[in-house]
Structure formats: structure tokens, C-alpha cells
Amino acid sequence: MGKFMQKVRDVIKAASGKVLLILLAVVIIAGAQSSFYSVHEDEQAVVTMFGQVQRVDTAGLHFKIPFLQQVHKVDMTTHGVGLGYRVDGAGQNINIDSDAKMITSDFNLINIDFYLEYKVSDPVAYLYNTTEPEMILANEALSCIRATVSNYPVDEVMTTGKGQIQSEIKTMLTKELAEKEIGLQVVNVSVQDSEPPTVEVARAFKAVETARQGRETAINDANKYKNEQIPYAEAEADRIIQAAEADKQSRIAEAEGQAMRFNKMYEEYQKFPLITKKRMFYEAMEDVLPDLKIIITDGNTQTVLPLDSFTGGN
């Protein structure tokens, strides 16, 4: 009996040694497997030990102390969330009135939806500075949206002011997130839809938008007509200027000719003043009285002979 018990003890001892060896091997293998980890291109890994951040690893294969260090992987890709609406199971957008309804600077109500794109900028702050960074982001975004929309009249919110509103919201929200230090950053903010809260007001705003588009069309047509007419008007003006210049030169040449003619006549007058004076008198009379008949007489002749018969006149 004593020998039997001794054999049992030896078997148990040998089995225990093998179990310990197996357990040790399992621990070593598990530790070796947990010592290495890989990080994808769109991730970053925060390594902690006893609750303290040791480092942040980017894409690649990395080593950590097994059982002591912990790895927390963070998705660094861009994500999107709707503000003022939610998407149901069928893919349809359902308005959330409490978030979408806002007041404008001219005290009108409007339903406006935004789509916010964001990503993690600091994985350590994202993991440890707050427990719900996405909720804080959504609340801050809604606050910035309400503050910005309240600075614009309703027609600008629905039409021409969308681009400026988006830019101001992004700037304001970026500043707020930097102050909160929650590890998130804004990528883009865009207006999805904006409409009045009632059907009647919606129709009125559609009519305003149609009128606005008609005005823009009229302005574009007027500019087109102006651009077509300006070259024609410029060409016509150039033609008139050239004609006036030619007329000016003609008048100047005519005046110079008349002046030259007068000078020549004056020179002849100085040579033969009496003859020249008579000739000028006759020419003047011809111009003044073109039908005048000239008769030469010595005052004693009884018969008067008109000069027309000698010159061939009637």
C-alpha cells in the first residue's frame, strides 16, 4: 500500500510538472502574440500603461509590453452626421423639428438642415478628455448654426447667403472645438435643405425665388444686348468722327482757297483799282440780280441795244 501511494504521488508530481510546463508555454505564446500589433493606414493607436499614455503609433507593425501595456485604436477617417434630420431605415430624411427650426434676423422661422463632416485630430484628447466627444461636437455645431442663421434675413438663408453661412459656421465651430480640446476637427459644413415651416410661406418664397431668377435673367439679357450694341455704337461714333474730320478738312481747304482768291483779287485791285472795282461790281450784281439785263449807252443814242444779242443770251 505504501509503495502504491508513492507511485501515485510520483505520477501526480510528474503530471503537475507537465501541466506547469504547458501553462508556461501557453503564457509565453499568448504573451508573444499579444506583444505585436498592426495599425492600418486610416488608424492611430494610443498605447497606455497603468492608465498613463505612453505613445501614439501610426500605420505599421509595433511592439508593446504584454499584459502591461494596452492599445486603443482610433479611426482617423472622415465621418459625417446630419444636423436637423435623421435617416430612417428606408434611406429617407426625417426632419427633427427641435434641431432644424431656427429664427432669422428678420424674425422669421425656417427649417434648415446641415450635413457636418468631421474627423479625429488628436486621438489622445479624443479618448481621454471627454466621454462623448461626438455629442459635444453635435451640440456645439447646433449652437454655432443658430448663432449664424440668426444674423441673416430669411431670404438670404434660403437663397444667396448659403455659402457665406456655411463658411461662418465652419470658422466658428473650428474655434469652439479648439477651445474644448475634444480631439475632433471640422472638415466641412454644408446646407442640405432650407424651407419655411408652413406650406403657404414655402409657396411665397418659391415665388420670390422665381422672381429673383427672372431678374437675373433680365440682367443677363440686358448685359448681352449692351455687349452687342457697344461695338456697333463705337463703330458708328468712329464713322461720325471721321466724317466730321473730313468735313473739317474740306472747310479748312475751302476757306484757305477763298482767302487765297481774295488775296489774289486784292493784288489785282492794287494794280488796277478802277477796273477791278467795276468787275467786282458787275459780279456782285450778277449774284444779287441774276435776271438783270445790262445795256450800254452814251446817253445820247436814241436806239438802245441790249448786250444779250451780242452774247447769245435770250
Chosen domain end from 197, 215, 248: 197
- Report the C-alpha gap between 211 and 213 in whole angstroms: 5
Domain of 139: which CATH number?
A: 3.30.479.30
- pLDDT attached to residue 255: 86
- Report the C-alpha gap between 264 and 256 in whole angstroms: 12
pLDDT (tens digit per residue) in 65-121: 887 888 899 999 999 998 888 877 676 777 787 888 888 888 888 888 999 999 999
Q: pLDDT at residue 215 above 80?
A: yes
- pLDDT attached to residue 280: 75
Q: pLDDT at residue 149 above 90?
A: yes
Chosen domain end from 53, 74, 95: 74
The answer to whether the beta carbons of residues 168 and 123 sit under 8 Å apart is no
Helix locations, 87-160, DSSP H: 97-100, 123-128, 133-149, 154-158
**Phi/psi-derived region of residue 51, left when phi > 0, alpha when psi is between -120 and 50, beta in every other case:** left
Question: Whole domain around residue 212: which residue ranges?
Answer: 198-271
C-alpha cell at 283: 459780279
Q: For residue 155, name the pLDDT band (cuts at 50, 70, 90).
A: confident
Q: Are 96 and 181 found together in one domain? A: yes
pLDDT (tens digit per residue) in 274-288: 777 777 777 777 777
Query: Is residue 289 one of the residues assigned to a domain?
Result: no
C-alpha cell at 103: 429664427
Average pLDDT in the chain: 80
Chosen domain end from 146, 162, 197: 197
Q: Are 142 and 69 found together in one domain? A: no
- Full-prediction pTM beyond 0.95? no
